[in-house]
Amino acid sequence: MISADPGHPLLSATAAVLRRDEHRVEFLAPDGTPLGPDGQPAGRAAPATVADVYLLKARTPQALTTAARLADRGAPVINSVPATEGCLDRVAMARRARAAGLPFAETLRVATVRELAADGADLDYPLVLKSRRSRRGDLVARVGSPAELAQWAAARPDEPVVVQEFTANSGWDHKLWVVDGQPFAARRRSELSPGGRGPNLPLPPAALPTAWIEAALHAGEVFGLEVYGVDVLHLGAGAPLLVDVNAFPGIRGQPGAPETLAALALRRAADGDGR
């Protein structure tokens, strides 16, 4: 497992499932350094041979380089490096999703926050501001006025961002996660709502409109993902609007997700096909 956080709930639970059946599981830092259970370097050299399969949870440039090197040696990697990279640039993501017919939020503008603030009076508010590159700690904010935009420009002036139209909604996001074709779902108070992000509230996928599940599964096909998440807004009459696709998200608190991920890892290891 390529992750800087061996204690992550999904990864640790998946590791427990695999170890219960006497499979060997090890964690590698994004740079390929072996990690101990506490997330610190384990004090031993990286394995000389590749593992049967790698789970690419980290998405940093170092992690992608490590995973690409392992894939070049024939190791199966979940998700593949190209699939993971396809979800990092939000401009390319939106273009690819819309070209494939997915109901994806349109990118209205691409600029730095400073450049946007210079035209602040001419923009349509409210708007949604997102870092162009998806990463931990990226910028995702609802901006309601030129004054708010100026505050972001003062804090992160050179941040490349995309602008999306703000879609009026209930203040709740629907999170759909897919592991090897198996959907999981939750509701969460949106980070764009006045109260800020809240905890995930598990939701049976069967309670969601069929169109939402179909869109989520189609997203996996479009981006070549095996483990991923889709953020969905409800537009009424069952119509979904996809606002983000994330490679290998946390999927916290979803019964059955660790077992499904473990089964996927074992199947890909048995297939032995680095793709």
Are the beta carbons of 172 and 189 closer than 8 angstroms?
Answer: yes
Mean pLDDT of 259-267: 98
Count up the domains in the chain and report the number. 3
What integer pLDDT is reported at residue 38 of this predicted model? 74
* Torsion angle of C-alpha atoms 112, 173, 260, 71, degrees rounded to 10: -10
Residues 148 and 122 in one domain: yes
Domain that holds residue 145: 107-165
pLDDT, position 160: 96
Output the pLDDT for position 110: 95
For the segment 125-145, the average pLDDT, to the nearest whole number, is 92
Bridge partners (DSSP) listed for residue 178: 183, 228
219 and 176 together in one domain: yes
pLDDT at position 45 is: 67
Among candidate residues 112, 156, 155, 107, the one with its CA nearest the CA of residue 127: 107
Say if residue 150 is in the same domain as residue 187: no
% pLDDT > 90, the chain: 71
Here the CATH number for the domain that contains residue 135 is 3.30.1490.20
Provide the whole-model pTM. Answer: 0.90
Peptide bond into 79 cis (omega under 30): yes
Find out whether 185 and 208 touch, Cβ atoms under 8 Å. yes
Mean of the pLDDT values across residues 140-167?
93
Residue 96 sits in the same domain as residue 227: yes
Residue from 77, 81, 68 nearest 1 by CA: 77
Q: What is the largest CA-CA distance in the chain?
A: 62
User: Which residue, 179, 180, 64, is CA-closest to 133?
Assistant: 64
- Residue 202's pLDDT is 77
pLDDT of residue 44 exceeding 80, the answer is no
Give a yes or no: residue 265 inside a domain.
no
Pair 181, 233 in one domain: yes
pLDDT band at 118 (very low <50, low <70, confident <90, very high): very high
Region 239-247: mean pLDDT is 90
Query: Looking at residues 8-26, what average pLDDT do you find?
Result: 95
Q: Tell me the pLDDT band of 91, cut-offs 50, 70 and 90.
A: very high
- Tell whether the model's pLDDT for residue 251 goes beyond 60: yes
User: Which range among 60-64, 144-148, 171-175 shows the weakest confidence by mean pLDDT?
Assistant: 171-175
User: Rounded to an integer, what distance in angstroms lies between the CA atom of residue 46 and that of residue 252?
Assistant: 29
pLDDT at 169 over 80: no
Question: Does residue 63 share a domain with residue 158?
Answer: no
Are both 205 and 237 inside the same structural domain? yes
Same domain for 55 and 140? Answer: no
pLDDT, one tens digit per residue, over 215-234 is 999 999 999 999 999 998 87
Would residue 264 count as lying in a domain? Answer: no
The 3-state DSSP class for residue 124 equals coil
- Can you give the pLDDT at residue 170? 64
Q: Has residue 272 been placed in a domain? A: no
Q: Are 25 and 47 in contact (CB under 8 A)?
A: no
pLDDT at 47 over 90: no
Residue 184: predicted pLDDT: 96
What was the pLDDT predicted at 159?
A: 95
* 182 domain-assigned: yes
**Summary mean pLDDT of the chain:** 90
14 has a pLDDT exceeding 60:
yes
Note the pLDDT of residue 275: 45
- β-pairing, 160-165 vs 77-78, is unpaired
C-beta of residue 149 within 8 angstroms of C-beta of residue 234: no
